């Protein structure tokens, strides 16, 4: 084999490898800037190598100047692409600013334009069957361009190599070494000798320089998963071996066995039939041959292969079939152990914002778990590979100290329910892009399944939890209720004691005031009469208040007794209204009452019914603004007697009406109008009326007034119901004006 033929074989081999790498890398991730640039670099390098071969082949020396200039045209984008690749790996995005990219494009285009002019190469001389090029003044600019970009590229790659960790460092190491060796050899044996010394001795060896780079890059691809194109390479190698094997066997069968057996025969039909018979087993054995070479190539390129879709189907079926949490977690862990072969798989779930471990044996169960969980939650990325993190990253030390290779955030609808941790692979391999893709696909589905399982456990344990909660609440309520009963009894005892102690001196005060007002101690002037009258009225109100308090106490102890006796209700109303005349005048309201004639005698508890009438009328006076009017109506119908106290005062808010007759309750507007009230008057009025067989009358509109009163069945309370007639009087006369 001649030297030229050997050069041609090396060229063809190098170009084929370059183009295959370009195809594999680009097809693996056509959106990655790194893959795109590497693909174009491989293509441009292949074109440059072809042109270099033409420039030194004696057959094409007549056009040597053209080939040399074209080589410069290909060399310029080749150097620019090297620079872009150095500033792109491994982040897969171009790290140069837009202005620098534009500057690089402009300079490259200018140099390409000059490449066809005498500025780069003036002429070429053919000496000893070899082209000797004479460089022009523009060659200096090309050398500066090539040298500066090469230095910047090597510097960028070296810095990234120094700052990278783990498998990324191994990937970078071989790529950087390959680029540095290739660039160094090109500069010192080709570019400088040709440009300065017109010596092209080493130009034929250029394909060998690129083989050095390709060899180290290929090693990084196979051993350290650079670009992660092993699957494509594996399939290609497998089919090449299959086709090659079948071709060899087919050739041996057809051109060996058949020709030997029928070398002297001219019967083409028999030869064709025998060929078909012999080739058929080869066709049927295609799958067996493919599986054989699959096993060989898998062992060669990677040992951790798995069927991507099969894993998705298995875990998907598990998530659909199971609802219990421990079965889901254990099933997923087992499948990951089989598929990814990590040293450990660990689920950590969140409960009330903190990690918990649900009773399973865990590798990371310490105070770092909370810190780790909080940091993982803050990260925008769902999946983090420890080897790809900078040492300054807040998670780097935590993950490294725990031997965690990959962390996966489990997030469902903006809610992080936990995270999944993987140890390094037992075989020493890295987590590939296929592994990362698998985990990202399963992350959301796993999060939903775990969330549903947690809810299922809550529902399943709901009855037990509810029962325990109810029992606990019941115990607490009983304790509180017992305390409240004790406090209520103490309060009632105090009220009863205080009421008894206050009633005696108040009765004495009221009696003496009554005697003085009646003139037993001498004649009083008008001022004295008014002042003592107010004192008497206040003492009377105090007596009623104490009576209410005593009645409340008696209600609790069961000693509240209605003592009915014959009374004239019409006269009782007159007497109570007379006591309120001066109070009404002081409040500047009109108090109107029309006493009915021939009113029946009823069986009522006089003392208690007086309290009720006094309470209704007194409230009306206090809650009616100046200039208002209060009408007291006592009506005798055929079957009932009815009392109504009607005012146009502040009224009762609608939202508070249903509370009004409860103990110690007062409406909000009433508390503002009269802060000293107790809330016992209406409560006791209802008890007195209902205890005597009557019913309350109540109607009110906030801001327009109220009606309070009662109605009794006359037949049940009358001494002689046949002798009483209903009152026919309709006209009312004012009892007091102001």
Q: What average pLDDT does range 334-358 have in this prediction?
A: 77
pLDDT at 639 over 60: yes
Q: What average pLDDT does range 710-714 have in this prediction?
A: 91
pLDDT at 171 over 70: no
Q: What average pLDDT does range 197-222 have in this prediction?
A: 66
3-state secondary structure of 274: helix
Return the domain boundaries, the chain. Answer: 3-228, 234-301, 308-460, 469-560, 565-736
Query: Can you say whether the dihedral through the CA atoms of 401, 402, 408, 412 is positive or negative?
Result: negative
Q: What average pLDDT does range 268-295 have in this prediction?
A: 64
Contact of 391 with 164, CB cutoff 8 Å: no
C-beta neighbour count of 313 within 10 angstroms: 11
pLDDT at 299 over 50: yes
Contact of 653 with 667, CB cutoff 8 Å: yes
Q: How far apart are CA 21 and CA 218, in angstroms?
A: 9
Q: Where are the beta strands (DSSP E) in 383-473?
A: 383-385, 404-412, 415-423
Q: How far apart are CA 410 and CA 463, in angstroms?
A: 29
Residue pLDDT, tens place only, 140-151:
888 888 888 888
Residue pLDDT, tens place only, 665-681:
888 888 888 776 777 77
- pLDDT-based confidence at 695, cuts 50/70/90? very high
Packing angle between helix 681-691 and helix 526-557, nearest 10 degrees?
60
Burial pattern 722-738, b for ≥16 Cβ within 10 A else e, equals: eebebbeeeeeeebbee
- pLDDT-based confidence at 340, cuts 50/70/90? confident
Q: How far apart are CA 420 and CA 449, in angstroms?
A: 14
The correct CATH number of 469-560 out of 3.50.50.60, 1.10.287.1040, 1.10.287.130, 1.10.10.10 is 1.10.287.130
Residue pLDDT, tens place only, 468-478:
788 888 888 88
What local confidence, expressed as pLDDT, does residue 705 receive? 92
Residue pLDDT, tens place only, 211-232:
677 666 666 655 555 555 555 5
Q: How far apart are CA 649 and CA 651, in angstroms?
A: 6
**Which has more confidence, 358 or 492?**
492
What local confidence, expressed as pLDDT, does residue 259 receive? 61
What local confidence, expressed as pLDDT, does residue 470 receive? 84
Pairing relationship of beta strands 590-593 and 629-636 according to DSSP bridges: parallel
Range among 41-45, 271-275, 352-356 rated most confident: 41-45
pLDDT at 630 over 90: yes
Q: How far apart are CA 509 and CA 538, in angstroms?
A: 11
Packing angle between helix 33-56 and helix 206-224, nearest 10 degrees?
150
Contact of 590 with 738, CB cutoff 8 Å: yes
Q: Which helix (H) or strand (E) covers residue 356, if one does?
A: strand 354-356
pLDDT at 708 over 90: yes
- pLDDT-based confidence at 730, cuts 50/70/90? very low
Q: Where are the beta strands (DSSP E) in 128-264?
A: 130-135
What local confidence, expressed as pLDDT, does residue 70 receive? 85
Looking at every residue in the chain, the average pLDDT score rounds to 76
Between 41-45, 183-187, 235-239, 657-661, the lowest mean confidence (pLDDT) is in 235-239
Phi, psi of 645 (to 5 degrees): -110, 110
CATH number of 3-228: 1.20.1070
What local confidence, expressed as pLDDT, does residue 642 receive? 93
- pLDDT-based confidence at 644, cuts 50/70/90? very high
Q: How far apart are CA 560 and CA 558, in angstroms?
A: 6
- pLDDT-based confidence at 734, cuts 50/70/90? very low
Q: Dig out the tokens for 416 from the structure.
A: 């992080």
Percent of the chain with pLDDT over 90: 9
Contact of 543 with 562, CB cutoff 8 Å: no
**Which has more confidence, 234 or 460?**
460
What local confidence, expressed as pLDDT, does residue 507 receive? 74
Q: Which fold has domain 565-736?
A: Heat Shock Protein 90 (3.30.565)
- pLDDT-based confidence at 720, cuts 50/70/90? very low
- pLDDT-based confidence at 267, cuts 50/70/90? low
Phi, psi of 373 (to 5 degrees): -60, -40
Q: Which helix (H) or strand (E) covers residue 601, if one does?
A: strand 601-604
Long-range pairs of 135-141 with CB within 8 A, sequence gap ≥ 24? 135/194, 135/195, 135/196, 135/198, 138/111, 138/114, 139/195, 141/111, 141/114
- pLDDT-based confidence at 721, cuts 50/70/90? very low
Q: Which ranges of 57-138 does DSSP label H, i.e. alpha helix?
A: 64-86, 98-115
pLDDT at 166 over 70: no
pLDDT at 321 over 70: yes
700, β-bridge pairs: 706
What local confidence, expressed as pLDDT, does residue 79 receive? 85
Q: Which helix (H) or strand (E) covers residue 709, if one does?
A: strand 705-713
Q: How far apart are CA 331 and CA 311, in angstroms?
A: 12
Which residues have C-beta within 8 Å of that of residue 61, sequence separation ≥ 6? 126, 129, 131
Q: How far apart are CA 175 and CA 158, in angstroms?
A: 10
Between 206-210, 247-251, 493-497, 688-692, the lowest mean confidence (pLDDT) is in 247-251
Contact of 460 with 450, CB cutoff 8 Å: no
Nearest to 179 by CA among 290, 85, 318, 65: 85
3-state secondary structure of 704: coil
User: Between vectors from CA 229 to CA 228 and to CA 232, what angle results, nearest 5°?
Assistant: 150
C-beta neighbour count of 569 within 10 angstroms: 22
What local confidence, expressed as pLDDT, does residue 361 receive? 42
Pairing relationship of beta strands 121-127 and 130-135 according to DSSP bridges: antiparallel
Between 47-51, 416-420, 459-463, the lowest mean confidence (pLDDT) is in 459-463
Q: Which fold has domain 308-460?
A: Beta-Lactamase (3.30.450)
What local confidence, expressed as pLDDT, does residue 263 receive? 57
What local confidence, expressed as pLDDT, does residue 604 receive? 92
Q: How far apart are CA 70 and CA 81, in angstroms?
A: 17
Range among 31-35, 311-315, 392-396, 546-550 rated most confident: 311-315
Residue pLDDT, tens place only, 576-621:
888 888 888 888 999 999 888 888 889 999 988 988 998 899 889 9
Q: Is 636 exposed, middle or buried (0-12, 13-18, 19+ CB in 10 A)?
A: buried
């Amino acid at each position: 084999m001649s030297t030229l033929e050997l050069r041609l074989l090396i060229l063809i081999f190098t170009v084929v490898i370059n183009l295959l790498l370009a195809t594999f890398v680009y097809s693996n991730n056509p959106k990655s800037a790194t893959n795109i640039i590497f693909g174009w670099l491989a293509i441009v390098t292949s074109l440059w190598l072809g042109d270099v071969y033409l420039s030194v082949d004696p057959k094409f020396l007549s056009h040597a100047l053209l080939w040399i200039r074209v080589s410069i045209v290909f060399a310029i984008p080749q150097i620019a692409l090297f620079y872009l690749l150095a500033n792109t790996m491994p982040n897969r995005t171009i790290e140069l600013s837009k202005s620098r990219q534009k500057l690089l494009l402009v300079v490259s285009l200018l140099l390409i334009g000059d490449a066809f002019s005498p500025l780069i190469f003036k002429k070429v001389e053919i000496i000893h069957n070899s082209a000797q090029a004479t460089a022009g003044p523009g060659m200096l600019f090309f050398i500066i361009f090539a040298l500066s970009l090469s230095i910047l590229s090597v510097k960028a790659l070296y810095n990234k190599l120094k700052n990278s960790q783990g498998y990324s460092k191994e990937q970078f190491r071989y790529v950087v070494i390959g680029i540095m060796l290739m660039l160094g050899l090109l500069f010192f044996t080709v570019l400088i000798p040709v440009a300065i010394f017109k010596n092209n001795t080493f130009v034929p060896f250029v394909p060998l320089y690129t083989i050095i780079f390709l060899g180290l890059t290929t090693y990084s691809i196979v051993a350290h998963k650079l670009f992660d194109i092993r699957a494509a390479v594996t399939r290609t190698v497998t089919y090449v071996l299959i086709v090659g094997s079948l071709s060899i066997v087919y050739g041996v069968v057809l051109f060996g066995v058949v020709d030997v057996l029928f070398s002297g025969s001219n019967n083409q039909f028999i030869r064709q039939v025998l060929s078909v018979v012999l080739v058929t087993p080869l066709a049927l054995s295609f799958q067996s041959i493919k599986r054989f070479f699959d096993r060989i190539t898998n062992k060669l390129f990677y040992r951790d292969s798995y069927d991507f879709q099969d894993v998705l189907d298995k875990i998907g079926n598990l998530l659909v079939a199971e609802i219990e949490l421990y079965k889901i977690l254990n099933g997923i862990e087992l499948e990951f152990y089989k598929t990814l072969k990590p040293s450990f798989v660990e689920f950590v779930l969140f409960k009330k914002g903190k990690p918990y471990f649900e009773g399973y044996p865990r590798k990371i169960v310490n105070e770092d778990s909370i810190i780790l969980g909080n940091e993982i939650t803050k990260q925008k990325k769902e999946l983090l590979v420890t080897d790809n993190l900078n040492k300054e990253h807040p998670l780097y030390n935590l993950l490294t100290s725990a031997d965690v290779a990959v962390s996966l955030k489990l997030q469902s609808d903006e809610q992080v329910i936990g995270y999944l941790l993987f140890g390094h692979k037992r075989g020493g391999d890295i987590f590939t892009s296929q592994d990362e893709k698998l985990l990202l696909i399963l992350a959301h589905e796993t999060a939903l399944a775990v969330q549903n399982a947690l809810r299922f456990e809550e529902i399943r344990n709901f009855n037990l939890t509810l029962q325990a909660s109810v029992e606990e609440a019941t115990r607490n309520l009983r304790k509180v209720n017992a305390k409240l009963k004790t406090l209520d009894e103490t309060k009632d005892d105090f009220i009863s004691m205080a009421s008894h102690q206050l009633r005696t001196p108040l009765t004495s005060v009221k009696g003496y005031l009554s005697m003085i007002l009646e003139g037993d101690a001498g004649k009083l002037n008008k001022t004295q009469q008014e002042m003592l009258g107010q004192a008497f009225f206040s003492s009377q109100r105090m007596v009623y208040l104490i009576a209410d308090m005593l009645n409340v106490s008696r209600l609790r102890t069961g000693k509240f007794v209605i003592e009915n006796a014959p009374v004239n209700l019409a006269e009782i109303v007159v007497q109570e209204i007379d006591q309120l005349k001066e109070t009404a005048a002081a409040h500047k309201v009109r108090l109107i009452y029309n006493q009915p004639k021939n009113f029946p005698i009823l069986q009522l508890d006089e003392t208690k019914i007086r309290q009720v009438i006094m309470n209704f009328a007194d409230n009306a006076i206090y809650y009616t603004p100046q200039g208002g009017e209060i009408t007291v109506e006592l009506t005798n119908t055929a079957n009932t007697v009815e009392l109504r106290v009607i005012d146009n005062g502040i009224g009762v808010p609608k939202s508070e009406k249903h509370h009004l007759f409860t103990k110690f309750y007062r409406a909000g507007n009433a508390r503002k109008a009269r802060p000293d009230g107790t809330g016992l008057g209406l409560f006791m009025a209802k008890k007195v009326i209902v205890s005597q067989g009557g019913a309350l009358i109540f109607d009110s509109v906030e801001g327009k007034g109220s009606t309070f009163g009662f109605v009794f069945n006359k037949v049940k309370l009358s001494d002689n119901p046949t002798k009483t007639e209903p009152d026919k009087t309709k006209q009312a006369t004012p009892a007091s004006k102001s």
